[in-house]
Amino acid sequence: MKDKVEYIRGDQSLSGDFKRAGKLIQSFNAADYDNDTLKKSILTELLGSVGEGITIEHNFHCDLGYNIHVGKNFYAGFNCTILDMAEVRIGDNCLIAPNVGIYTAGHNIHPIDRHKSGNARPIIIGNNVWIGGHVAIVGGVEIGDNSIIAAGSVVLKNVPSNTIVGGNPAKIIRSITDSDL
C-alpha cells in the first residue's frame, strides 16, 4: 500500500478540486430519486472510476471524488461519507449499509498547527465485501475479499479475506467457510 499523503487545509492547489467535488455532490444529492441516468452521469464525472451497476443513495459526501474507484455492482446506502484525500479502491459486488464513514484523512498528532495540516492513507476494500451500518473505516486499512464488517464496528486494522469482524475496535468474530455458502 502507498505511503501516507500529506496535505495542508486551505492549499490553493486543492481548493478547485474541493469546489468541483462539492458542486457535483450537491447536484447528485439534489437529483430526483428515480433519475438513475442523471445520478450515474454525475457519479461517473465525480469519481475516479465507476463499474457497471453502481447505486449510491442520497446524502453522499466525499472530499475530492477522483480518488474513489468502485467496481461493478456497487451499492452504498444513505449518508455514506468517503474522505478521499488518499485513494479508496472498492472491489466488485460490494454492499455498504447506511451511515458508513470511510476516512483516509487524519490530522497530525502534534497539536501545534494540527488544524492546518493532515495526512491520509489509502483504503482498499476487496470484492464481495458487506459493510454494516454505522461502520467507520480508517486510513491504511485493507479489507479482504468476501469479508463482512458487523454494524457499528470501527475498523483500525486490516481484515483478512473470508472473515467476519465486529466491535470497537473491530476484532475477528469468525471465518467464513464453505459451509456458509
What is the phi/psi pair of residue 36, to 5°? -65, -35
The yes-or-no verdict on residue 181 having pLDDT over 70 is: no
State residue 2's pLDDT score.
58
Contact 77, 96 (CB under 8 A): yes
- With residue 17 as reference, give the H or E element that holds it: helix 12-30
State residue 112's pLDDT score.
87
The yes-or-no verdict on residue 10 having pLDDT over 80 is: no
State residue 81's pLDDT score.
98
Q: What is the mean pLDDT of residues 47-69?
A: 97
- Residue 44 in grid coordinates: 461517473
The yes-or-no verdict on residue 47 having pLDDT over 90 is: yes
Q: Burial level of 89, CB count in 10 A (0-12/13-18/19+)?
A: middle
Euclidean distance between CA atoms 132 and 134, whole angstroms? 7
Top pLDDT among 47 and 109 is at 47
Active site residues: 107
Q: What is the mean pLDDT of residues 65-73?
A: 98
What letter does residue 167 receive in the DSSP assignment? T
Euclidean distance between CA atoms 46 and 136, whole angstroms? 22
The yes-or-no verdict on residue 168 having pLDDT over 80 is: yes
For the stretch 28-41, pLDDT in tens is 999 999 999 999 99
- With residue 41 as reference, give the H or E element that holds it: helix 36-46
Sheet holding 61-62: strands in order across? Answer: 61-62, 81-83, 101-103, 136-138, 154-155
CA 128 to chain CA centroid, Å, is 15
Q: Please state the domain extents for the chain.
A: 5-180
- Residue 89 in grid coordinates: 479502491
Euclidean distance between CA atoms 95 and 127, whole angstroms? 10
Query: pTM for the complete prediction?
Result: 0.94
For the stretch 109-161, pLDDT in tens is 888 888 888 899 999 999 999 999 999 999 999 999 999 999 999 999 999 99
Q: What percent of the chain has pLDDT over 70?
A: 98
Q: What is the mean pLDDT of residues 90-111?
A: 94
Mean pLDDT across the chain = 94
Q: What is the CATH number of domain 5-180?
A: 2.160.10.10
> What is the 3-state composition of the chain as percent helix, strand, coil, each rounded to the nearest 5?
20, 30, 50
What band does 172 get if pLDDT is binned at 50, 70 and 90? very high
